[in-house]
């Protein structure tokens, strides 16, 4: 369907005065009487009729409300055929559930988001974060954050969460590797340093950091 707001070049909240003024400008510039060529005149007449219909609809409250309803319905139907758009809807629902501390629901929503569009590292990361808060979901979270890292391999935060998830399932070597990788990209992360200290011991970690970042002096 034709979006009359776009046709007139006005926003959805435009007042009647703004709509009428915009119509006057467009109608003046594209009036059929300004065209001599027969084919061009026919096209101009069609456009002028459409502009007239647009201004009549948008300045009539009942017809404008119906037009808005049809536009919104069309967007919803289009979104259902766009996996990325559907994924964003589930992502938003997952964020809401996470903020409300409903972590099982957050996991479910983030999983649906990833199911519809698995190329968004943020959605995969959010799924991993939620899995950290749900007992028995660490392996699922680790798989999610590994997928996120394939899309964004230098993200220190993703490596940090991967390390935490692998700690939960007892894979200390993998956890250590991800913590070390996290520090490469964010050496000031005190949480990661603390986790490495607990895994390796203070002396061993000191040697590791010296190797990663060089010695001073």
Confidence of residue 111 (pLDDT cuts 50, 70, 90): very high
Mean pLDDT of the chain: 86
Burial class of residue 105 (count of CB atoms within 10 Å of its CB; 0-12, 13-18, 19+): middle
| Domain boundaries defined on the chain | 4-80, 83-213
Confidence of residue 71 (pLDDT cuts 50, 70, 90): confident
Would you say 207 and 197 are in contact if contact means Cβ atoms under 8 Å apart? no
Give residue 216's pLDDT.
46
Structure-model confidence comparison of residues 61 and 80, the more confident one:
61
38 pLDDT more than 70: yes
Give residue 217's pLDDT.
43
161 pLDDT more than 80: yes
Give residue 81's pLDDT.
67
Give residue 85's pLDDT.
82
4-80 and 83-213: identical CATH topology: no
Give residue 140's pLDDT.
92
Structure-model confidence comparison of residues 30 and 142, the more confident one:
142
Question: Domain spanning 4-80: which CATH class is it, in words?
Answer: mainly alpha
Question: Domain spanning 83-213: which CATH class is it, in words?
Answer: mainly alpha
214 pLDDT more than 70: no
Task: Tell how many helices (H) and how many strands (E) occur in the chain.
Answer: 12, 0
């Amino acid at each position: 369907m034709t979006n009359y707001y776009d046709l007139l070049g006005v926003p959805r909240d435009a007042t009647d005065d703004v709509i009428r003024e915009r119509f006057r400008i467009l109608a003046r510039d594209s009036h059929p009487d300004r065209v001599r060529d027969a084919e061009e005149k026919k096209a101009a007449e069609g456009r002028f009729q459409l502009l007239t219909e647009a201004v009549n609809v948008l300045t009539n409250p009942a017809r404008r409300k119906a037009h808005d309803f049809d536009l919104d319905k069309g967007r919803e139907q289009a979104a259902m055929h766009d996996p990325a758009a559907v994924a964003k809807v589930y992502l938003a629902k997952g964020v809401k559930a996470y903020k409300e501390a409903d972590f099982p629901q957050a996991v479910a929503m983030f999983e649906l988001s990833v199911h519809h569009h698995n190329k968004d590292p943020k959605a995969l990361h959010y799924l991993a974060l939620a899995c950290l808060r749900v007992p028995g979901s660490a392996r699922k979270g680790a798989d999610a954050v590994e997928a996120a890292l394939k899309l964004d391999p230098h993200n220190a935060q993703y490596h940090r969460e991967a390390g935490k998830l692998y700690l939960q399932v007892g894979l200390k070597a993998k956890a250590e590797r991800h913590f070390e990788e996290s520090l490469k990209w964010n050496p000031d992360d005190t949480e990661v340093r603390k986790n490495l200290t607990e895994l390796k011991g203070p002396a061993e970690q000191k040697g590791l950091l010296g190797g990663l970042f060089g010695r001073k002096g």
